Amino acid sequence: MREILLPYYNDRRGKSINTLVIHASAQHTSDALMAKLIERELSSHYLVDEKGEITRMVPEACRAWHAGVGEWMGDKDLNSTSIGIEMCNGLFGEEPFTDKQIETLTELCQHLIDKYNIAPTQIIGHADLAPGRKIDPGSMFPWQKMAENGVGLWYDMQEGNYLTLLSHEKMLKEIGYGTDDLEATEWAFCRHFNPQLYRFLGGKLGANKGTIEGLVLHDNPEYLRTLKAVYAAYKNARDLQSTIVDTSYKGAQHSLYGRFCGAWGNLKKASTY
């Protein structure tokens, strides 16, 4: 890992780290991406290039300027509570990521999850917190594969079959999304959790909404099945997390929480970061 510190950060305003935010750029190399960040006076904690090499740009203890305006689970100051990771990509995650890049990202995230006890429900993309203005890490980002390796949360489509259909907006909110721009939020959700449907229904490269005139995502049966299944997965994960924290004494919380995270994948992979 190399370290090239950027000056675009401040203190975390007394807040603790509880979220990972994954970004994807429109630059293929780390130098080009860093040049763009410097030009815009932005930063992120880490950068993973297409060769799988990591650059640290901001100390984890500091508040990098990467998330911007947005929200997740009601938190509207994600810069203060998150670690940001930039991924080199030619089109904001609408081009395939390299195997080495994803392998390195997975190991880095596993390390950070262990270090800060970050819940699977708090591993998000830039578009998840800012759906009206961002699309990254894009429809080519392998969220399911990441979740299978302990980074983030995936779902079983069958789980949604047992739920009474709630308001689609209410389910999005309870998953974590802000819904000020509901249409953009629906497309961001679809891009993250059902990228095949996203592309089939007219999800456009480089746009945060669809391209088929008059299409309403929440009228699509597969979209609604996906939404119900994801809602069930996130609700179950948070209920389990709450149960573990509530029933454990403080000295055992770290150990028990580690077991909870382990249920979602191998979060204890050895790392040198």
Q: Is the pLDDT of residue 265 over 50?
A: no
Tell me: pLDDT of 267 over 50.
no
Domain ranges of the chain: 2-262
pLDDT at 247: 57
Q: Is the pLDDT of residue 252 over 60?
A: no
The pLDDT tens digits of the residues spanning 23-42 come to 999 999 999 999 999 999 99
Q: E strands, the chain, where?
A: 2-3, 9-10, 19-24, 46-48, 54-56, 63-64, 82-87, 123-125
Average confidence (pLDDT) over 102-111: 98
Interval 165-177: pLDDT, tens: 789 999 999 999 9
| 150 vs 232: CA distance, rounded Å | 18
| pLDDT given at position 170 | 96
Q: Is the pLDDT of residue 257 over 90?
A: no
222 in active site: no
Q: Do 207 and 190 meet the contact criterion of CB atoms below 8 Å apart?
A: no
Could you tell me the two tokens for 98? Answer: 């390299």
* pLDDT interval class at 98 (50, 70, 90): very high
| Mean pLDDT of the residues in the chain | 89
CB-based contact 106:265 (threshold 8 Å)? no
The residues that bridge with 124 in the sheet, in sequence order, are 21
- The per-residue pLDDT for 75 is 98
CATH no., domain 2-262: 3.40.80.10
pLDDT score recorded for residue 198: 92
pTM of this structure: 0.88
Cα separation, 89 vs 273, in Å, equals 22
How much of the chain, in percent, has pLDDT values that exceed 90?
A: 78
Structure confidence by residue, pLDDT tens digits, 47-71: 999 999 999 999 999 999 999 999 9
What is the predicted pLDDT for the residue at 163? Answer: 80
> What confidence tier does 88 reach under pLDDT thresholds 50, 70, 90?
very high
Of residues 142, 119, 114, the one with CA closest to residue 22? 142
Which entry of 86, 94, 107, 186 is annotated as an active-site residue? Answer: 86
How do residues 109-162 score in pLDDT, each as one tens digit?
999 999 999 999 999 999 999 999 999 999 999 999 999 999 999 999 998 887
pLDDT for position 202: 78
The per-residue pLDDT for 162 is 79
